[in-house]
Amino acid sequence: MYIEMEYDKLSEIFVNNLLETNRGFDFYVNWKNAEAFKNFEIELNAMNILIRTENIKNKFYELAKKLPTFIGTFPLLFALSKNERTEVWSGKNSLAIVGDEIGNDENLKFTFNIEELKEGLSEQQIEQYYYFFERVGLKHLCDSLIEKNLIDYVIGVLVGLDSNGRKNRGGTAFEDACEPIIAKICNKYNIKVISQKQFKTLKEYGFEVSKDIENRKADFILIKGNKVLNIEVDYFFRGGSKPEEIIDSYINRQHDLDKINMGFVLLTDGLCWDNKSKNQLQKGFRNLNYLMNFYLAKNGMLEEVISNYFNN
């Protein structure tokens, strides 16, 4: 059994079975995010009349009168994040444009609230949206860059934005890899799992939580009966990571949890933990009750730890 193994032997297995990457197939593009255009399929198809056409301004005005919600497609046509698009569509925010010397513009704000667009547009509003369409470059897009279909272009924009944002997904990629292992074990032993919640959430389940830790977020919290086990999941590439800081921070986490009789597991991986980091790794095995990598977790150690913790 892994949990009865000497820590020097366990650390040897750990170091010899490190993951080179935390990236799965879904790391590079979240295709679900690339489907954001589907709520505007009608409008985007209608906008195809603006592609490579004469009298684009007249057709823009005609389209705005017949189908004003096509204005809501604009946030899909240039580089706005998912959160920014959601805010402008809901009316919580607007797009602010700083004035420039060329156009001698004052600072402007453009709204894309879908519910307001459904109510129709005045001539003045249409004029303002055409001005935006022209100045932000969408007229040039329709005149000179796109050949046939705006939906194909939008998918490209969304994929590009999502790929650019994949760095943010890097922090959760290893959690995504570990979650099915944790869930399978917890289902087997009828253990409740909550993820990405502050420790004060445990108060809802009748547990006392100290002020030292109540506002900290946990990757996974396992609950059964009167016992709680926190599993922290982290992946570290070789460059830029400081093993001594990593280990010390998790030793402190375990001390805080010990004070309120809760357990702790560190599930970590990556080339940061190669032989150069072995001294810190040994410190981790000496001072942490449960330390493992993906290989050990997948091959039975995590189940041993969880079963042993909740059944004793």
The tens digit of pLDDT for each residue in 113-145 reads 999 999 999 999 999 999 999 998 999 999 988
Residues 13 and 45 in one domain: no
Residues 103 and 180 in one domain: no
Residues 185 and 139 in one domain: no
Distance of alpha carbon 16 from alpha carbon 28, whole angstroms: 27
Model confidence, pTM: 0.66
Residues 201 and 140 in one domain: no
**Does the pLDDT at position 167 exceed 60?**
no
**Does the pLDDT at position 297 exceed 80?**
yes
Domain extent at residue 185: 2-25+167-311
Residues 44 and 114 in one domain: yes
Helix (H) or strand (E) holding 278: helix 278-287
Strand runs labelled E in 165-225:
192-198, 217-224
Residues 179 and 302 in one domain: yes
Q: Quote the number of domains for the chain.
A: 2
CATH of the domain at 212: 3.40.1350.10
Residues 156 and 184 in one domain: no
User: Average of pLDDT values for 75-88?
Assistant: 85
Distance of alpha carbon 75 from alpha carbon 88, whole angstroms: 8
Residues 195 and 302 in one domain: yes
Residues 266 and 154 in one domain: no
Residues 136 and 218 in one domain: no
pLDDT band at 173 (very low <50, low <70, confident <90, very high): confident
Residues 148 and 232 in one domain: no
Residues 264 and 189 in one domain: yes
CB atoms within 10 A of CB 260: 16
